Chains A and B, each alone.
Chain A
Amino acid sequence: MLEFDAVSKRFGSLPALDACSFAARPGRLTGFLGPNGAGKTTAMRAVFGLVALDSGVVRWQGAPVGPEQRAQFGYMPEERGLYPRMRVRDQLVYLGRLCGRTSATVNRTVDIWLERLGLSGRAGDRLDALSHGNQQRVQLIAALVNEPELLVLDEPFSGLDPLAMGSMSEMLADVAAAGTTVLFSSHQLDLVEDICEDVVIINAGRVVRAGDLAELRAAVPQRFVTIRYRGSEPDWSQLSSVELLDQHEGQARLRVEQGTDLAAMVAEAQATADLVSFVYEPPTLSDLFREAVAA
């Protein structure tokens, strides 16, 4: 388990991390969310000792993270980069060996991943001869060459096409299923909602929500009603204890308090509009995020 314990870091007068505490659990995908400038990258760099912390500590399996622990970690920085003129295979083996793996072990791991991502044929090519998508795959393998127990990825989905996003999320799920702790940052809230068990939301260096996604959603007192209807735009203000969030093209989204009498509400809605569908659900991750960051 990876734990942040009251981690703080300031850049001049700018607090990048402000007493950040959260955890990422093994075998689960943890989505790390926050608006630009919230401190995600700084937090991830802190795991690898790339920023000198002002206070607080990052722990792995209960012990403060040091070089020995980091040899068991995999990292994909937001600024992608490997040696452009180095051969793919040599490069990956080199990175694996820097983690203290023997040549034979690293070679085996690299071969498995190259095979799995369909890059076996390009192993002897220089990195800059590969397409952008393939370079991204090599970058992912670079984070996996030491068969890490903790995988930290900064915006792994940025710049990927929908197909590549699909295979990337499948792969992350596989890696997590094998018992690895996976922490990644992303702005693709729908995707995070689909694949992550846990989320951490930070804003201005502070953790505002953290934990099991389903529990977080359930804990929010508000519920959301999505109504599809035919005809002209009805006047939803006639409904009791409802707040209209959005309405367009025959669809309205309303916020209600938890515990609202659903049967009565459906009846009222039917009286107001020609209903096609009525969906009552806990907040989506987007709702959760917006509400958490706005606070």
Chain B
Amino acid sequence: MNGAHQIWLVAAREIRERGRSRAFLGSLLLMLLAVAGAIVLPAFLDTGPGTKDVGVTGTTPAGFTATLEAQGEAVGATIRIHRYDARADGEAAVRDGDIDVLVVDARQLEWRTTADEQLKAVVTGAIQLVAVRDRAEAAGMDADDLLAIIEPVPVINLELGQVQGRSPDDETAAFLMTLVLFFAISTYGATVLSGVVEEKSSRTVEVLLARMPARNLLAGKIVGIGLLGLAQIAAIAVVALVAASLTDSFDVPAVRGSVLVWAVVWFVLGYALFATVFGTLGSLASRTEDASSVTGPVTILLVLGFMVSFAAIGSADTTWAQMVSWLPITAPLAMPNRMAMGAATWWDPLVAVPLTLATIAGLVVLGGRIYTRAILHTGATLSLGEAWRGASPPSRPDGPVTTESTERQEEPAVEQTTTREARTQLVFAVIAIAVGGIVFALTADFVIGVGVGAAVFALARQALKVWGPKGGHKGDAASGPDREPAHPWGRGAQEENELDLMARLAGVSLEISRAPLVPNSPDRHRPTITTVTCAVLARQIVSGVVAPYADSVAGSVGGLVRTTTVCLGAIGAPMRMAPV
């Protein structure tokens, strides 16, 4: 039995079981319908420049209708002429919506409510042209001379801010790619997380690990879900392209040659990186409810990386964008968009890919150790430190549990811990302010600076909690009834102030509950400072970073993207697990 075969069996199971689950098929169908609908519907609703019905009544100069049709053809519209002998009949047709406009005596246009600007230009142009020709003829001028006179002078438009060879399409492509990559990586990363927790909470994992090494199980799961994810993205892309080409509703942005291939490569790398982290952290939690508190810091990192990568699209040529596209956390999002912008040099991927690969390799080694040690531990959520040291008793301690940990919680020790915690918090705050300041300096956007600073602070605190000896929501007896719970909603005044500040930044109103919290009650999972920070970030992305780009995206895609960016708010809540 070799490892590769086992990994493949695990991956095949993931694909088969998830692929035929109602949740997966339902969500895929919904997504396909949404994408196809977003592309096809506008094409149906808006007949576009396609066919226009123009009514004509009264005296009409000779050749007017032919000129009108020719003018329409020039802008890609078919003009259908309807002749009305009585003006009243024509007006009735306008009121009924049978025709778009009625031309009276080639001098007056009658619309139903508001004028169709394009049609107005076409009809007006035709009227002017016929009039000019008639007057020229009356003046005895030759038709060829006339053509020479009205021949337009070609005017060249130069956009000096644009890098040569870069089209707006590149920006659209970079924007879409970052969005899709972020959604794909976070969605399938969260699926890996829920899969790991599901196996652990259902105790399936012990049966499995008796048959194969933990690394094969984790690797198989990541490979299987990744392949399923690629297939899902491919299906959506195919449907989108088919719908777009059938309805001809918008131009598929022309993408630089190998960018699509690179997008797939970066999806694989980014997904492998985050799925490894999510899978590893998932092994610390025994229940689905605990999973989100364990992965909080990584979720923030991912959102932060997304935000920074987004900002990097606009300044793809700067040094800081290059740095961002090298940094393994942001590279999977930032590098493909710099490539789509044509801003990456040929050797940029040669730096970023090995760096990311090395990070993945390191994470696999670290993660493998933690996963193997933590996955058979049940009960309270393990802290990363405990899992790393591997000094955990068997899952159901049959015997006398060592009492050391409880004895250590004596009064002086608690006080000492409090001082140390306060000092750590101060250090975190200084670092956060520094990082926020740097980001502010780089982006010249004060709100983004504050957002990043706050996020760094929350991230550091979360990381400390996950690592520390009393990590995550433990609610264990050792904390004692009088100890304050780790960080639930409505805790001490300091935390309330932080939450309030965050909420004001996010522009949401908060109700802070002062009800005492019962350990292990569902209340423990009310929004925490992490959640609110994420909401702030999401709002930042929507209002500050994404919206300007959304404007640059044409027609229906713009609408679709706007809807999607609003949906980003959902990321504020720690990614929800949908057990498959």
Contact = CB atoms under 8 A, between A and B. Distances in A.
A94 B199 CA distance: 15
Given A98-B6, A99-B1, A14 B206 contact: no
A71 interface: yes
A41 B396 contact: yes
B548 interface: no
A79 B396 contact: yes
Interface string B172-194: 00000000000000000000000
Contacts of A59: none
Contacts of A67: 1, 212-213
A16 B17 contact: no
Interface in B426-472: none
Interface stretch (B146-154, B397-405, B549-557): B397-405
A36 B376 contact: no
Contact of A68 (B1, B398, B579): B1
A83 B202 contact: yes
Given A71-B211, A73-B210, A86 B17 contact: yes
B338 to A, nearest CB: 42
A95 B9 CA distance: 10
A42 interface: yes
A97 B211 CA distance: 10
Interface residues of A, number: 42
A234 to B, nearest CB: 42
A83 B6 contact: no
Contacts of B26: none
Contacts, number: 103
A77 B211 CA distance: 12
Interface stretch (B160-168, B263-271, B386-394): B386-394
A236 interface: no
Nearest to A139: B207
B395 interface: yes
A77 B207 contact: yes
B394 A45 contact: yes
B67 to A, nearest CB: 69
B405 to A, nearest CB: 10
Interface in B542-580: 579-580
Interface string A180-211: 00000000000000000000000010000000
A223 interface: no
Contacts of A39: 398
Given A86-B17, A100-B1, A78 B396 contact: yes
Nearest to B3: A67
A132 interface: no
A51 interface: yes
Contact of A142 (B10, B13, B207): B207
Main secondary structure of the interface of B (DSSP, over half): loop
A90 B9 CA distance: 12
A77 B210 contact: yes
A230 interface: no
Nearest to A14: B402
A99 B1 CA distance: 7
Contacts of B402: 12-14
Contacts of B497: none
A217 B213 CA distance: 41
Nearest to A75: B210
A81 B21 CA distance: 20
B396 A81 contact: no
Contacts of B135: none
Interface in B398-435: 398-400, 402, 404
Contacts of A90: 16-17
A50 interface: yes
A70 interface: yes
B365 interface: no
Nearest to A143: B207
B1 A71 contact: yes
A148 to B, nearest CB: 11
Most buried by A among B17, B396, B398: B398
B204 A50 contact: no
Contact of A81 (B204, B390, B394): B204
B1 A94 contact: no
Nearest to B378: A79
Contacts of B390: 52
Interface string A1-27: 000000000011110100000000000
Contacts of A51: 394
Interface string A223-234: 000000000000
B380 to A, nearest CB: 16
Nearest to B13: A94
Contacts of B376: 45, 50
A118 to B, nearest CB: 22
Nearest to B12: A94
B202 A82 contact: yes
Given A50-B206, A71-B1, A81-B203, 4 more contacts: A12-B391, A36-B398, A37-B398, A78-B396
Interface of A: 11-14, 16, 36-42, 45, 48, 50-52, 67-68, 70-71, 73, 75, 77-86, 90, 94-95, 97-100, 142, 204
30 contacts: A11-B391, A12-B391, A12-B402, A14-B400, A36-B398, A37-B399, A41-B394, A41-B396, A41-B398, A45-B376, A48-B209, A50-B376, A51-B394, A67-B1, A77-B206, A79-B203, A80-B203, A81-B204, A81-B206, A82-B202, A85-B579, A85-B580, A90-B16, A90-B17, A94-B9, A95-B207, A95-B211, A97-B9, A98-B1, A100-B1
The 7 closest A-B pairs by CB, nearest first: A37-B399, A81-B203, A37-B398, A100-B1, A48-B210, A11-B393, A75-B210
